[in-house]
Amino acid sequence: MREIPSDFGRVIAGTRDELFQEAVRLTADAHAKRTGPGVFTWALTGGSTPAAFYAWCAENKTLPEAVLRDTHFTVSDERHVLLSSNESNFGNAERQLLNPLSVPTDRRHPWMVAWPVAEAAEAYRKTMLILSGPGRAYDVCFLGMGDDCHTASLFPQTPLLKDDGGLLFGGQEVPGKGWRLTITPTGLRACGLIVVMALGAGKAEALHRVHRGPADVLNVPSQLLKTCADRVVWLVDEPAAARL
């Protein structure tokens, strides 16, 4: 693996398996060093790269027993659909990772998608406050990144990028994509560790825009990670890193 200089966090390039192993190592390290008042929380995410990581973890049984024993799992953004939908990030995380690893249901924390979005966001804020403690979103937050440089459900021009009211989590309608529940910019700054995974040549242009393009958070949302760069690690394979 090699490191690529960036103002947006540590960028580590390597093969898929090296990066997945590094993701496990980073999470286990954060778990071992956790000192906060709450329980250890790990937010998973949606998208193709994280899905490949979950399948890899389940197949290879790579998550350390110490992490599996007491981690509380959630997702950093969610569509307003039932968990049974294959559009549900938490539903997919359950099917691909939590069920195969037999994580008990009392350590699974989905967004309350059966409720109207405002109430669902409020209930989730209360749950995470109890789990993580005040001022903390998650101990570890996994993210993917879309071709339009969105991360979590923070899409270009989304109002939460301009003003999230200082809240860690929110809900909003995203034109063309429906209602989304998501960690906010304030929430991202309140995570202990953020791991962004982007694999494949299809991510090269978006990574270039974030790390090497002009500053424009409103149109390149992943650039907001610069505000917490000391806690961000990007895991990218060589095809994705081609333009960095």
Where do contacts with ligand 6PG occur on this chain (CB under 6 A)? 45-49, 77, 89, 144-146, 150-152
Q: In this complex, which beta carbon is closest to ligand 6PG, that of residue 145 or of residue 220?
A: 145
Rounded Cα distance between 70 and 67, Å, is: 6
Tell the smallest beta-carbon distance from residue 113 to ligand 6PG (Å). Answer: 13
Tell the smallest beta-carbon distance from residue 73 to ligand 6PG (Å). Answer: 15
Q: In this complex, which beta carbon is closest to ligand 6PG, that of residue 60 or of residue 85?
A: 85
Residue listed under structure tokens 């350390």: 64
Report the length, in residues, of the chain. Answer: 244
Rounded Cα distance between 65 and 24, Å, is: 12
Going by C-alpha positions, the residue among 156, 172, 144 that lies closest to residue 75 is: 144
- Which residue type sits at 215? A
Q: In this complex, which beta carbon is closest to ligand 6PG, that of residue 130 or of residue 187?
A: 187
Tell the smallest beta-carbon distance from residue 33 to ligand 6PG (Å). Answer: 26
Q: In this complex, which beta carbon is closest to ligand 6PG, that of residue 49 or of residue 96?
A: 49
Please give the residue whose beta carbon sits closest to ligand 6PG in the complex. Answer: 144
Tell the smallest beta-carbon distance from residue 66 to ligand 6PG (Å). Answer: 27
Rounded Cα distance between 3 and 146, Å, is: 22
Sheet strands side by side (includes 178-183): 77-79, 178-183, 169-174
Rounded Cα distance between 27 and 176, Å, is: 34
Residue listed under structure tokens 């978006």: 206
Q: In this complex, which beta carbon is closest to ligand 6PG, that of residue 91 or of residue 146?
A: 146
Tell the smallest beta-carbon distance from residue 1 to ligand 6PG (Å). Answer: 20
